[in-house]
Structure 1
Amino acid sequence: MRFEILGSLRITDGKDVFTVTAPKMEALLAAMVVRAGDVVSMDQMCTEIWGDAPPRRAVATLHVYISQLRKLLGGADRGHGPIVTRFPGYVLELGDGSLDAHEFQRLAGQARAAFCAGRYQDASVACGRALALWRGTVLGELRGGPIVDEFATWAEETRLECVELGNEADLMLGRHRELVGPLYALVNKHPLIEAFHRQLMLALYRSDRRADALRAFQRVRSVLDRELGITPCRSLHELHQQILADDESRVPAAA
């Protein structure tokens, strides 16, 4: 059985795909999957589903939800369910199953190690495989509970780190022209992440588009001043000066 949370919540078993259509049951399962291997207490479950205003029979309702989830997951795994009672709540045990978020972490770790070792092709491939696991927004529209929200924030930040690392690896491999389009999209979507602006400037300059690289610096400087009242970081200023000097020996291939 495989649990997937890098997108809407779903469970796969071979060719079969299972989803939970009841919103509160889905939120409960999401919390347990995020904390797979760790106990989620009854109090945490109540907060995840109802916030600070649980209904009078919240505990009884939780037991009903758990029973229904066990039926779903037991059927998906041919009679052996992964939800185990353990004081003061329940734990979802993966056993021989898998979780896409764990696979993403493993691949991202491999990419970082390969990059640090100078194996840029391996780093690029690992980043691509890691990012291919993402099907959309983490856990779809399931927001509001502290467990899911904390995980979603961590996952998105880690995804952006992986994107940045993959770009660095591709820059080291000389794939500057292929990166220009995706980097323009990234700076439009994440205008306050200076690393993406720096990578765009590098990709443009290495693609013989010096004027566009200088315009990219003017753009990020304007955005940061308008939004935050700050100037670009030192690395952006240094790259800007190196591009102005038009000395290729001074402009790095990547960070």
Structure 2
Amino acid sequence: MRFRILGPIEVETDAGETVTPQALKIRSLLAMFCMHAGHVLSPARLIGALWAETPPRTATTALQVYVSKLRGNFIRAGASPSLITTTSSGYTMRLDGHCLDLALFESRAARAQQAIRMERSLEAARLLSESLMLWRGSALADVRTTPALDGYAQQLDERRNALHEQWLTLELRLGRHTQLIGELYGLAQEHPMWENVHACLMIALYRSGRIPECLAAYERIRRTLHDELGMEPCNRLRNLHRAILAREPWLDDHSRPLSSAYAS
């Protein structure tokens, strides 16, 4: 069985049948189990995640019903009754023999970091790309209804963003600037104030000989930051802009780390 939380909650059998719970509270409960697979979750913690600070008087009973329905849903789909177990301390979901996209993401990301430490850039870029392809939108996209669930989702989204930046930087160092331009334009449109993405876009355009578009990209984020926040771009972005105007040689040096090249 495959469980997916890097986007809307989805559950699929090995045969490809979708068995995602329809009820919001049960999907939220499933999200908690997936986020803490293999660990005991107390009723109090689950109630807090499902209802925040305003649980109904019947929350404990309702939680028991939701767990029973979730377990029954998976048993009907062919899973073992031991997938979700009840103990004196709470509930545990064990994903032995099942697939969770979050676990795959973390595993490939960890292997990518090891490849980076060993200076195997091609392998690291591939692993980061594979980890990012597991995402189908914002984490827990359809169950971010309480502070606890939203907090977990934001942590995952930030992890994804950090790895995305790392992958972009690696791809630029590998000389794949032309292939990156389309994705960078999409990211810049989706995140109009993400300065590091705009920096990567500017460098990719510059190295592809598209100087007018490169300068237009800087003007676009400069106007956005000014109009939305009353701020100018950060020092790194301004330094990059000046370097592009001066056609400084480091801009074409793929081996030089970008962070050190325009940080000062």
TM-score between both structures, scaled by the size of structure 2:
0.87
In 1, distance between residues paired with 2:68 and 2:232? 56
Q: 2:6, 2:102 within 8 Å by CA — same for their partners in 1?
A: yes
Report 1:99-138 matches (<5 A): 99-138=100-139
Give the AA of the match of 1:82.
L
Report 1:227-238 matches (<5 A): 227-238=228-239
User: In the alignment, what sits opposite 2:75?
Assistant: 74
User: In the alignment, what sits opposite 1:11?
Assistant: 11
User: In the alignment, what sits opposite 1:56?
Assistant: 57
Percent of aligned pairs sharing the same letter: 36
Q: Give how far 1:250 is off.
A: 5.2
In 2, distance between residues paired with 1:224 and 1:57? 48
User: In the alignment, what sits opposite 2:208?
Assistant: 207
Gaps of 5+ in 2: 259-264
In 2, distance between residues paired with 1:52 and 1:155? 23
Report 1:1-255 matches (<5 A): 1-15=1-15, 16-249=17-250, 251-253=252-254, 255=258
Q: 2:12, 2:19 within 8 Å by CA — same for their partners in 1?
A: yes
Q: Deviations over 1:136-180 (max 9, x none)?
A: 332231112233212210111112222222211211121112212
SS at match of 2:7: coil
Q: Give how far 1:198 is off.
A: 0.7
Q: 2:225, 2:233 within 8 Å by CA — same for their partners in 1?
A: yes
Give the AA of the match of 2:25.
K
Q: Deviations over 1:79-129 (max 9, x none)?
A: 333212234321212223231101101112222333344322212211221
Q: Tell me which moved more, 232-241 or 125-134.
A: 232-241
In 2, distance between residues paired with 1:92 and 1:146? 22
Q: Tell me which moved more, 220-229 or 34-43.
A: 220-229
In 1, distance between residues paired with 2:88 and 2:225? 50
SS at match of 1:127: helix
In 1, distance between residues paired with 2:59 and 2:188? 45
After superposition, the Cα gap between the structure-2 partners of 1:10 and 1:215, relative to the gap in structure 1 and judged at 3 Å, is closer
Q: How well do the aligned residues superpose, as a CA RMSD in angstroms?
A: 2.1
Gaps of 5+ in 1: none
Give the AA of the match of 2:137.
G
In 2, distance between residues paired with 1:22 and 1:131? 28
Q: Give how far 1:62 is off.
A: 1.5
SS at match of 2:125: helix
TM-score between both structures, scaled by the size of structure 1:
0.90
SS at match of 1:3: strand
Q: Give how far 1:232 is off.
A: 2.1
SS at match of 1:91: strand
In 1, distance between residues paired with 2:125 and 2:232? 31
After superposition, the Cα gap between the structure-2 partners of 1:182 and 1:149, relative to the gap in structure 1 and judged at 3 Å, is same
In 2, distance between residues paired with 1:180 and 1:243? 17
Q: 2:9, 2:142 within 8 Å by CA — same for their partners in 1?
A: no
Q: Tell me which moved more, 36-45 or 99-108.
A: 36-45
Give the AA of the match of 2:113.
R
In 2, distance between residues paired with 1:105 and 1:214? 37
